[in-house]
Amino acid sequence: MSANVTDVTDATFDTQVLKSDVPVLVDFWAEWCGPCKALAPHVHAVADEHAGKLKVVKLDIQTNQRSAMGNRVSSIPTLIVFKGGREVARQTGAAGGLQAIRRLVSSHV
């Protein structure tokens, strides 16, 4: 996968996402989620395309429920773009693949 995607946890969410100087795409996922696994290569591709302009992180909701609940993630996969510590875009589900993720982040990078 991509070196441009990192993992975050409940403990690191604030510093890595909300206090980031660049926009952040957060992939809320779980190991048991088939659509999450199908979406993962597209998330990594977007991370590579926007390296240096967009931080891309993954948060496993199974072990980091506080961050998932705090951001009203009720189904996965959910992708949320944060800019300046605030949510600016959201996509739930894997429909649309790579093109949908590109559209999600395009106006924020």
In the chain, what are the domains?
A: 5-106 (3.40.30.10)
Q: Is 67 helix (H, G, I), strand (E, B) or coil?
A: helix
The number of residues making up the chain comes to 109
Would you say 87 and 7 are in contact if contact means Cβ atoms under 8 Å apart? no
Note if 36 is an active site residue.
yes
Task: Write out the chain's pLDDT in tens, 109 residues.
Answer: 679 999 999 999 999 999 999 999 999 999 999 999 999 999 999 999 999 999 999 999 999 999 999 999 999 999 999 999 999 999 999 999 999 999 999 999 9
Note if 33 is an active site residue.
yes
8, 25, 33, 80: the active-site residue: 33
Cα gap 59→2, rounded to integer Å? 15
Q: Is 68 helix (H, G, I), strand (E, B) or coil?
A: helix
5, 36, 76, 104: the active-site residue: 36
Q: What is the pTM of this model?
A: 0.96
Cα gap 82→13, rounded to integer Å? 11
